[in-house]
């Protein structure tokens, strides 16, 4: 059984601010970006760990539509799932799980101590189909635009869910 989290489920629209503003609306789809700490670059093995960490919660805490793991940052499109009747997993709880687990694994891999990820993530509620397609295209084309591959499908750390999986 998973320990009780201090990060509360989302029952209704809420907003809060750390350094960045965050808005959560139950049932929404989000575009999220999180970034490696300054001076930390994700090796191929590290990107494998991060992609596996992101995919692990899919179907349990969230529906993952797309993900790309670059050498210094990660982009996601996901939709939190219902946790309890009328409550959804919070973005903070989802991101804490992904970043905490992957950071522990990456510290073991690299021998690095300290922060692996910047504390905050950028998140945005996707408000309509056109915005969803824009963000999906951004994720899919990010590796080619960065010069890592010629064709997006050749990038090993790109995940796009099948159209009928959600």
Across the range 91-116, mean pLDDT stands at 94
DSSP 36: B
Of 6-10, 68-72, 127-131, the one with minimum mean pLDDT is 6-10
Domains defined along the chain, listed by start = 20-160 (3.30.70.1290)
Across the chain, what does the average pLDDT equal?
89
Q: What confidence category does residue 16 fall into, taking pLDDT thresholds of 50, 70 and 90?
A: low
Residue 112: predicted pLDDT = 85
Q: What confidence category does residue 107 fall into, taking pLDDT thresholds of 50, 70 and 90?
A: very high
Residue 36: predicted pLDDT = 97
Across the range 25-34, mean pLDDT stands at 93
Strands (E), the chain: 14-17, 21-24, 29-35, 62-69, 73-80, 82-84, 87-88, 122-126, 158-160
Buried residues in 123-145 as b, exposed as e (16+ CB within 10 A): beebeeeeebeebbebbbebbbe
Residue 3: predicted pLDDT = 47
pLDDT at 13 over 80: no
Considering the entire predicted model, what is its pTM? 0.88
């Amino acid at each position: 059984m998973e320990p009780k989290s201090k990060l509360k489920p989302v029952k209704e629209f809420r907003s809060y601010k750390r350094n960045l503003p965050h808005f959560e609306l139950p049932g929404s789809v989000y575009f999220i970006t999180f970034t490696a700490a300054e001076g930390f670059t994700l090796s191929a093995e590290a990107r494998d760990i991060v992609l596996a960490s992101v995919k692990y919660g899919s179907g349990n805490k969230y529906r993952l539509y797309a993900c790309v793991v670059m050498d210094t940052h990660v982009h996601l499109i996901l939709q939190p799932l219902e946790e309890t009747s009328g409550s959804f997993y919070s973005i903070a709880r989802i991101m804490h799980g992904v970043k905490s687990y992957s950071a522990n694994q990456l510290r073991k891999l690299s021998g690095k101590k300290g922060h692996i990820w910047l504390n905050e993530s950028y998140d945005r509620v996707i408000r309509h189909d056109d915005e969803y397609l824009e963000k999906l295209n951004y994720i899919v084309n990010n590796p080619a635009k960065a010069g890592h591959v010629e064709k997006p499908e050749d990038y090993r750390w790109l995940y796009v869910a099948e159209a009928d999986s959600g």
